[in-house]
Structure 1
Amino acid sequence: MRHSLRLLTTTAAVTLAVLGIGLPAYADGAAAATTVSSSSGGQVVSYKPAYFAQYQVATAFDMVLHVPGFVFDGGESARGFSGTAGNVVIDGQRPTTKADLGNTLSNINADQVDHLELITGGAPGMDMHGHRQIVNIVRKKDAKPNFSVLGIVRNMDGRTNAGVLLFTFNANRDGRSTDITADIFNFFDNGAQNARRITTDASGATPMAIYEHAGGTGIESQASHSEPLFGGKITFNGTYNPSIYRQTADYVQDGDAGHEHYIEKDMPSELGGQYERKFGHGLDLNLNLLRRYERDNIIDSYVDSSGASDYLALSRSRENILNGRLGWEKSDRLSFAIGAESAYNRLDRATTITLDTGAFDDDVRVEENRTESFISSSWKATRKLNFEGEIRVETSTISVPAANRSDSFVYVKPRFQAVYALSDKTKLSWKTIRQVDQLSFSSFANSVQLQTSHVTLGNTALVPQKDWLNTLILEHNFWDKGAVSLAYEHYDYEDTSDFIAVFDGADVYTASGNIGKAQSDVLHAKLDTPLDKLFVPHGSLSLEYYYRNTRVKDPITGDERHISGVEPHVYSASFSQEFPKSHTSWGVDLESNNKDRNYLANEIDDSFFNPWSQVWFQYVTPKKVTFKIAVKNPLALRYTQDRWVYSGLRGSSPIAYTQHTTSKVPPMLEIRLKKDF
């Protein structure tokens, strides 16, 4: 019995956003609207805390999510520092950490925020990190310390329970700030659910019952402290987030049974430091030092009547980064910056695969030495027109000693952006950028799905995917709190990352590889609108939609197709209504899940999740105790996977069998209780 198993390597993704401190209420939105101010041309818009009063925000992250027309980006999970920044900064600076940006912002209490700045297209002295828009969270110079405790209880299917206990401390006074958060949690994997799979081959259809259960435990901790030093400010930060994930699965087919047990132990940590100082004549300096280490251990065992299989993998990765930037604000209309980054990355991965056909050992070491230098400028040409430009030069060397590979690359990455304010409420933006993706170190090593004996080979000949991106965006603000935007993006890819076929005699394997040129067109529409004028007091509605059309030549069949794994349609909708007088609120959220197709060497896979939804209600007591209850996935979404497996190379071999797998994710109940001191 060798059929597919979708191995779930989900680690803890605990949402720590805490909702709900009651701020002063207004009878209507007019008073709050007066706290919004904009610079000439509308490139910088400032939002005071009173603007967020009706939303009953509790953290800086809550405030960011309510900035009209802004789409939060937590940054890239890539190697290096300068190229992984999200689109939110704190006091004009990016924190020297690659920890989850949403969690970092959730650790800042809303009472400590003086105002938020929405910057579009660039502003003198502001590093946009390649983003069109940046939100700058400006904290109060002197704020009362805050300590909070949050408890979360989750229940799925009436039997499976999980929870979180979170502690947060914030202090910001006399130029010194301290932010500490720590939590312990256990979690369940709502993707590991009982399923029914039907395999159809020449002999007919064979059903299989799959009984799965998965979850784990972990700790998340993050701390940072900053204080004045030598006329500037120095900041230290660190994280330590160990977790363990377990999954068990039983497969029953025609009276035969198979059993699988999967364990993953992950221990990531980091230490970082930042020094920033403003000199005279408009000069400012920013230095960052970051060290990351992660140890990941996987043990996967499968047994059935035909024998036993094992997959063992131990990965150790490390990263050392030194980053510096020197800025010069020549005037309030023109600024320049130069900078450089040096990074060393290393992955050591040892795997052992034991199948009924034999045992395979694979030890891979991948090393990368990379430097990147840049020069950038921001110029406010007129009251309505702003330009930002940058040129980066990246030099890197990738070494794989076991494959006797050591290749060096040099890439020039220009970026140009222009924003024209048609009015204070309407902006037109254009961006052209050369992007170079990073190689995934994990793609250099072998991996396996035991229950199918499906081996994905590592490819030591990979090169980075490159693209030119051109973007045109039209956005308009209305009704004080409303915003609508429409964007068109066009990508021209080189060395597109996808899957290729690798041959070992008559055997065909799949590997990550480069498949040539490709194109992609993306339409992105977003609407944030208050509903007061539509007779829903203190109501708001957010709608967002992406359409992606990708085109690439299939390296196996020669036919044009989509790029593997790209979802063509992505959408979300959120409705909420606040009742400031009673300190209550409620809302409904809906978002699409993945629907994509992957083109492997000897099979095609389709997967589809029904939309995810939730309904929630929140109450904030006068003594700052927040109670929130949410019913997540009330419609019990369905997961479907279809596989067409060929007897040999896809496109030139007949289909050996097909598989159709379905499962349903039960509804979940979540209760949150938070107290601020």
Structure 2
Amino acid sequence: MRLHTTTALAAILLALTAGTAALAQDAPPPAAAISAAGPVQTYQPVYFTEYQVSTAFDMVLHVPGFVFNGGDSARGFSGTAGNVLIDGQRPTTKSDLGNTLSNINAAQVDHLELITGGAPGIDMHGHRQIVNVVRKTDAKPNFSVLGIYRNIDGNTNSGVLLFTYNDNRNGKSTDITADIFNFFDNGAQNARRVTSDNVGDHILNIFQHAGGQGVESQASHSRPLWGGKITFNGTYNPSIYRQTTAYNEDGDMGYESFIEKDMPSELGSQYERKLGHGLALNLNVLARHERIHDIDIYTDADGTADYRALSLTDERILNGRLSWEKRDGLTLAIGTESVFNSMDRDSSFVMNATSPNVPTDHVRVQEDRTESFVSVNWKATTKLSFEGELKVEVSTISVPAANRSDSFTYYKPRFQAVYAFSDKTKLSWKTIRQVDQLSFNGFASSVQLQTSHVTLGNSDLVPQKDWLNTIILEQSFWGKGAISLALEHYDYDDTADFIAVVDNGDIYTASGNIGASQWDFVHLKLDTPLDRFHIPHGTLSLDWLYRQSRVKDPITGQDRRVSGMEPHIYSASFSQEFPKSGTSWGIDLESSGKDRNYLANELTDAHFDPWTQVWFQYKTPGKLTFKAMLKNPLNLRFTQDRTVFEGLRGLSPIAYTQHTITKIPPILELRLKKDF
């Protein structure tokens, strides 16, 4: 399917519009808790009463038709924003947005605003829709304690103890969260691997156990300053992960021990001020540091293999934006961002007291990037709004060990239009030029001892670029229901995938650029209340994403999918609330993954069975919440298939195949939360 066939698509979309509009005609008017003013739809707290929400995140997830996006994990600040704001601004942090919202008590929220297309004073960050969480300015302080207990396989336990404090009064706000936790890795379970070659089948039994512990802490404080508001925030989240594995093949034993110590930290500050005459200033400063130390040791009767890696990453960001609301419905903005990033990675590989040659085992990568933009948001009529932006990115990538220092200049335009047939029916179009960031890990080599697989670093990587065209039709119905259909087409240059590297007769896999590719997505989202189907206070949510891609394989020359591209991603959830008794229950289903990777000398396929969970919740009048969850009651199965070739993949005979199957036991989770 190609999205260039706009005539056919227009016919489909118009038919869907007519059908959903007819459906909405029979619907009752929206609840009094919902009001609409142009592109802004406001949801009062009473709207969420029947959902028995506890946090701001719970409220966001119950906005009909809204698809939460926590933001990207890329470097920089402006291009990584999620689609939820707090008091009209994005927090100056790159920590998990969902966690930030979960740490704001619902009692602190005055209302939510769903903004489609744009609104005065709101930076959409390139999103079609934004939810703005507006907090009360006079709410009393809230303190809560959350305890979580988890058990897997009846023997392995873990838990979390979380403390949260919120205070937002007199123009000052303070939010503090801290938790201590230990955890198990539900993916590290006993497995059975069958390797088939020209001799026969070899059965390997794998016994694994993994988990760890850590601390997470986050704090922010804002207060008036010089006619504006200044905010300080910081995070510190050290953790350690341990995995032990025993391998048994016909009585021959092997043992592996893996340890990873991760120490990320962050400090940020934001200053915002109205300057008068429609001008507003927003400044952000952010510094991040992370230290990751890996130790992987494998021992069997033939000797010992020892792989170690130490990575240090630093990021420093200065970001500024000046906006001007010339008149109601027209906002102009200019801004710039300066970012410095670096990664130092040292690794060593020793096998039986000798060090095999692994190129690029000592790497420093450095990036200096400046991105400037000018944007306009214009509400042309009561039904039609436009948003346009031009970004200019200038960056320099340096790899001293490879004598590389390359500079790039990219022009990144974006155009978006939203037309409202009515308050219930909206049609959106977006065209954008995107430039992905290079993964610093792709510059460094790594070794997997379990499969004896070496991935080389590649110092010649360049960013992949694409043009995205997307059209979205959304329809609200029955007051609390919404359906949307999105069609997306991507044209990529310098597609990021895997390439083959031949060094002294040895074949290695490396990250690389493999030319042009095309991607097509279809995304369907449905949230529907079930009261009309005699299920009072019931809600059904469906989310389905179909993806196909096409690229020419650099080894075989044949068309194939891009590595790691899962063709189907879906989720379904049912919930029912009983407000009078304070109880609720639900069932969730989610696809866990199915993808294929095309390596230099092997083909890998991984498949997870769908993930399911059942839950029950009870809230007492005394602000005590109990929740029980049974996750994976059907014993999810994970399978991995490897086809390993004697030489280059697809051009040489098959050396052997491997089939690994793992079953994950059910997980019981109990939560107890008290608000004070």
Band the TM-score falls in, shorter-chain normalisation: over 0.9
Partner of 1:570: 569
C-alpha displacement of 1:279: 1.6
Contact map agreement 1:323 1:340 (CA 8 A) in 2: yes
Deviations 1:540-565 (A, max 9, x none): 01000000010000000000000000
Partner of 2:110: 114
Partner of 2:10: none
C-alpha displacement of 1:453: 2.0
Q: Which moved more, 1:550-559 or 1:116-125?
A: 116-125
In 1, the alpha carbon distance for the partners of 2:671 and 2:450 equals 39
Q: Secondary structure at the match of 2:42?
A: strand
Matched, 1:273 2:295: no
Q: Which residue of 28, 33, 36 maps to 2:34?
A: 36
Contact map agreement 1:380 1:387 (CA 8 A) in 2: yes
Partner of 2:7: none
Partner of 1:17: none
- Report the residue type matching 1:33 in the other structure: A
In 2, the alpha carbon distance for the partners of 1:229 and 1:125 equals 20
In 2, the alpha carbon distance for the partners of 1:387 and 1:569 equals 32
Matched, 1:190 2:186: yes
Contact map agreement 1:595 1:609 (CA 8 A) in 2: yes
In 2, the alpha carbon distance for the partners of 1:138 and 1:621 equals 26
Query: Structure 1's 32 and 383: CA in aligned 2 closer, same or farther, altered over 3 A?
Result: closer
In 2, the alpha carbon distance for the partners of 1:330 and 1:140 equals 29
Q: Secondary structure at the match of 2:450?
A: helix
Q: Where in structure 2 are the equivalents of 1:130-529 lying within 5 Å?
A: 130-355=126-351, 358-360=355-357, 362-529=361-528
In 1, the alpha carbon distance for the partners of 2:424 and 2:496 equals 40
Q: Tell me the percent identity.
A: 72
Query: Structure 1's 470 and 31: CA in aligned 2 closer, same or farther, altered over 3 A?
Result: closer
C-alpha displacement of 1:376: 0.3
C-alpha displacement of 1:32: 8.3
- Report the residue type matching 2:398 in the other structure: S
Deviations 1:562-591 (A, max 9, x none): 000010000000100000000000000000
C-alpha displacement of 1:505: 2.0
Q: Which residue of 65, 70, 75 maps to 1:74?
A: 70
In 1, the alpha carbon distance for the partners of 2:475 and 2:511 equals 42
- Report the residue type matching 1:452 in the other structure: T
- Report the residue type matching 2:666 in the other structure: P
- Give RMSD over aligned pairs: 1.1
C-alpha displacement of 1:359: 3.4
Deviations 1:294-316 (A, max 9, x none): 00000000011222101100011
In 1, the alpha carbon distance for the partners of 2:349 and 2:414 equals 45
Q: Secondary structure at the match of 1:640?
A: strand
Contact map agreement 1:609 1:638 (CA 8 A) in 2: yes
- Report the residue type matching 2:190 in the other structure: N
Q: Where in structure 2 are the equivalents of 1:47-86 lying within 5 Å?
A: 47-86=43-82
| TM-score normalised over the length of structure 1 | 0.95
Q: Secondary structure at the match of 1:203?
A: coil
Contact map agreement 1:249 1:259 (CA 8 A) in 2: yes
In 1, the alpha carbon distance for the partners of 2:604 and 2:391 equals 38
Q: Secondary structure at the match of 2:381?
A: coil
- Report the residue type matching 2:193 in the other structure: R
Q: Secondary structure at the match of 1:477?
A: strand
Matched, 1:97 2:96: no
Q: Where in structure 2 are the equivalents of 1:588-667 lying within 5 Å?
A: 588-667=587-666
In 2, the alpha carbon distance for the partners of 1:442 and 1:198 equals 31
In 2, the alpha carbon distance for the partners of 1:672 and 1:548 equals 36
C-alpha displacement of 1:31: 11
C-alpha displacement of 1:100: 0.3
Q: Which moved more, 1:644-653 or 1:347-356?
A: 347-356
Q: Number of residues paired by the alignment? A: 647
Partner of 1:579: 578
- Report the residue type matching 1:100 in the other structure: D
Q: Secondary structure at the match of 2:308?
A: strand
- Report the residue type matching 1:495 in the other structure: D
In 2, the alpha carbon distance for the partners of 1:359 and 1:608 equals 33
In 2, the alpha carbon distance for the partners of 1:298 and 1:189 equals 17
Q: Secondary structure at the match of 1:463?
A: coil
Deviations 1:134-160 (A, max 9, x none): 000111111110000000000001000
Deviations 1:31-87 (A, max 9, x none): 9811101113xx210000000000011111000000000000000001000000000
In 2, the alpha carbon distance for the partners of 1:281 and 1:69 equals 36
- Report the residue type matching 2:241 in the other structure: Y
Contact map agreement 1:352 1:360 (CA 8 A) in 2: no
Partner of 1:674: 673
Task: Flag structure 1 segments of 5+ consecutive residues without an equivalent.
Answer: 1-28
In 2, the alpha carbon distance for the partners of 1:331 and 1:304 equals 74
C-alpha displacement of 1:255: 1.6
In 2, the alpha carbon distance for the partners of 1:652 and 1:631 equals 47
Partner of 1:26: none
Contact map agreement 1:430 1:471 (CA 8 A) in 2: yes
- Report the residue type matching 1:431 in the other structure: K
Q: Secondary structure at the match of 2:327?
A: coil
- Report the residue type matching 1:107 in the other structure: N
C-alpha displacement of 1:452: 2.6
Query: Structure 1's 122 and 32: CA in aligned 2 closer, same or farther, altered over 3 A?
Result: closer
| TM-score normalised over the length of structure 2 | 0.95
C-alpha displacement of 1:424: 1.2
In 1, the alpha carbon distance for the partners of 2:176 and 2:29 equals 34
C-alpha displacement of 1:331: 1.4
